[in-house]
Structure 1
Amino acid sequence: MSLQEDLENRSGAKCELCTGTNNLTVYDVKPSITGGGGVDGSILACETCVTQIDTPEELDSNHWRCLNDSMWSEFRAVKVVAWRMLHRLKKEGWPRDLLGMMYMEDEELRYAKESGDHLAESEKIIHRDVNGVILEAGDSVVLIKDLKVKGSSMVAKQGTAVRRISLDHENAKFIEGKVGPTQIVIITDYVKKMTEKE
């Protein structure tokens, strides 16, 4: 069975955010919980929801009143997206009330905060690679020079791909990722974001 079919079975072939049925698609909730999307890290969402999640300028607050129901979902990825969207809409007033009622496990909350949606624009820390390209949690980067790994004899070689990075929420210069089996902190000046073709 495909991922889309699994999610359709889980959701009754409805958008897991607004219960719409038009142009349903698999939406991978970044950064992937399981390291690769899958049922636990994805939701089934309609075109309207996906467009508004990915394009904040298109946000129609009335559409998102559906979060009153979806925020109680038993599925972590659905709850995370609901929490993020409520934070984006906080200035409307009513989302604050829903956020006050919403319960999330510590791990779910950490995952939800990865997007930075809960921060005001002035508080957001933007991570950029050596070329100034914005890095997001879950991106893949390539090292542009050999890096000695602190506290070990290991050297991470130039050209090494580091997949599914996580961001340091206190320092725009630091990201984390795995080189081989080792999780390391990398300075953003020494990485270049990989395109999907790479």
Structure 2
Amino acid sequence: MILEQQLSQRSQSECEICKSGDALELYAVPPQTAKTEDNCIMICGTCKSQIEKAEEMDKNHWRCLTASMWSEVPAVQVVTWRMLNRLSAEGWAADNLDTMYLDDDMLAWAKAGKDDQAAEVAEVHKDALGSPLLAGDSVVLTKTLDVKGSSLNAKLGTVVKNIRLVEDNTDQIEGRIEGQVIVILTKYVRKQN
């Protein structure tokens, strides 16, 4: 009960994601072995039910991620990153995801909880060497690419960060190069480690 009191005080009795004051509860951000102040958040029922996919996603509700992405609480950042990835087809979410930074440990934690999202996609996106690609990965171009409909020329060796997967085509990803979001064929990229 002490942890719940600490989190309630930290959150000022508001949902740490959307700032709602409705019926808050302790939420341990998976995967975790023990509940701590860094890996738990206080969350409202609306956010929790949509995170756990018990309720249909209300895209407008999640515009709050624009503010929560700047939280200093690791668990809030991880949940925000995961939800922005689930909403990456929305322009505002994709822009926020491109702006958001997680250190390597937190990014690994965020990706570890995306197993359920990866299971939704029957086929896996793979790079030129056969390594699986996930949303948010960084890739390196293995070939200089001319971008159709643009004067942009994406050079060999260019690093593309925070890629998005094209849902209905495992041969394509989306990435931002020189401020433009472009579609890139997976056979021309190598996953950056």
Give the Cα separation in 1 of the matches to 2:64 and 2:101.
Answer: 17
Secondary structure at the counterpart of residue 98 of structure 1: helix
Partner of 1:41: 39
Instruction: Give 1:56 deviation, angstroms.
Output: 6.0
Q: Which residue of 1 aligns with 2:96?
A: 98
3-state secondary structure, aligned to 1:58: coil
Residues 1:60 and 2:34 aligned together:
no
Q: Match for residue 15 of structure 2?
A: 15
Write the letter of the residue equivalent to 1:63.
H
Q: Distance in 2 between matches of 1:59 and 1:49?
A: 9
| 1:1-198 matched pairs, under 5 angstroms | 2-32=2-32, 35-55=33-53, 58-116=56-114, 119=118, 121-123=121-123
Q: How far, CA to CA, are the matches of 1:8 and 1:105 in structure 2?
A: 26
Structure 1 partner of 2:188: none
Deviation of the 1:93 alpha carbon: 2.1
Is the 2:49–2:55 Cα contact (8 Å) retained in structure 1?
A: no
Report deviation, 1:107.
0.4
**Residue aligned with 1:44, SS:** strand
Distance in 2 separating the partners of 1:90 and 1:107: 22
Q: Distance in 1 between matches of 2:21 and 2:49?
A: 15
Q: Which amino acid aligns with 2:76?
A: V
Point out where structure 2 has 5 or more consecutive residues left out of the alignment. Answer: 125-193
- CA RMSD in angstroms comes to 2.0
Q: What CA distance in whole angstroms lies between the structure 1 residues aligned with 2:122 and 2:89?
A: 15
2:36 alignment partner AA: G
Question: 1:56–1:109: structure 2 CA closer, same or farther, 3 Å change rule?
Answer: farther
CA–CA separation in structure 2 for the residues paired with 1:6 and 1:123: 43
Structure 1, unmatched stretches of 5+, are 125-198
Q: What TM-score, normalized by structure 2, do the two folds share?
A: 0.59
Provide closer, same or farther for how the CA distance between residues 3 and 84 of structure 1 changes in structure 2, counting only shifts above 3 A.
same
Q: Deviations over 1:147-173 (max 9, x none)?
A: xxxxxxxxxxxxxxxxxxxxxxxxxxx
Measure the CA separation in 1 of the matches of 2:122 and 2:60: 26
**How many positions carry a matched residue from both structures?**
123
Q: Indicate conservation of the 8 Å contact 2:26/2:42, yes or no.
A: yes
User: Shift of residue 123 of structure 1?
Assistant: 4.8
Provide closer, same or farther for how the CA distance between residues 57 and 50 of structure 1 changes in structure 2, counting only shifts above 3 A. closer
Deviations 1:134-155 (A, max 9, x none): xxxxxxxxxxxxxxxxxxxxxx
Specify the code of the residue in structure 1 equivalent to 2:48: V
Query: Shift in Å at residue 57 of structure 1?
Result: 5.0
Q: Which amino acid aligns with 2:84?
A: L
Instruction: Evaluate the alpha carbon distance shift between residue 56 and residue 96 of structure 1 in structure 2; reply closer, same or farther with a 3 A threshold.
Output: farther
Percentage of matched positions with identical amino acids: 46
Query: For residues 106-140 of structure 1, what are the alpha-carbon distances to aligned partners after superposition, in whole Å with 9 as ceiling and x for unaligned?
Result: 0000000002267472356xxxxxxxxxxxxxxxx
Quick one: distance in 2 between partners of 1:116 and 1:29?
Answer: 11
- Given residue 37 of structure 1, which amino acid in structure 2 is its aligned partner? K
Using the alignment, how far apart are the partners of 2:122 and 2:97 within structure 1?
21
Residue 183 of structure 1 is matched in structure 2 by none
